[in-house]
A and B are shown apart, each in its own frame.
Chain A
Amino acid sequence: MKISMIRDLLDAEVLCCEESLESDVYSACGSDMMSDVLAYVKDQAVLLTGLVNPQVIRTAEMMDMKCIVFVRSKKPSAAMVSMAEDDGIVMMATDKRMYDACGTLYINGLIGTKAVHV
Chain B
Amino acid sequence: MSDALVFHFDVDGDNFTSAGQASTQVKKNLRQLGLSPAIIRRVSIAMYEGEINMVIHANGGTADVYVTEDYIDIVLADQGPGIENVEQAMQEGFSTATDSIRSLGFGAGMGLPNMKRYTDSLEIDTVVGEGTTITMRVNLA
A-to-B contact residues, CB < 8 Å: 32-36, 38-39, 41, 49, 51, 53-56, 58-59, 61-64, 117-118
Contact = CB atoms under 8 A, between A and B. Distances in A.
A19 B116 CA distance: 37
A1 B37 CA distance: 22
Given A53-B17, A62-B45, A64-B41, A39 B105 contact: no
Interface residues of B, number: 29
Given A38-B48, A38-B114, A53-B17, A33 B106 contact: yes
B24 A35 contact: no
Interface of B: 16-17, 19-20, 23-24, 27, 37-38, 41-42, 44-45, 48-49, 52, 102, 104-111, 113-114, 117-118
A62 B110 contact: no
25 contacts: A33-B105, A33-B106, A34-B105, A35-B49, A35-B105, A35-B106, A35-B107, A36-B110, A39-B114, A49-B105, A51-B105, A53-B104, A54-B17, A55-B16, A55-B52, A55-B104, A55-B105, A55-B106, A56-B105, A58-B19, A58-B48, A62-B44, A64-B37, A118-B42, A118-B118
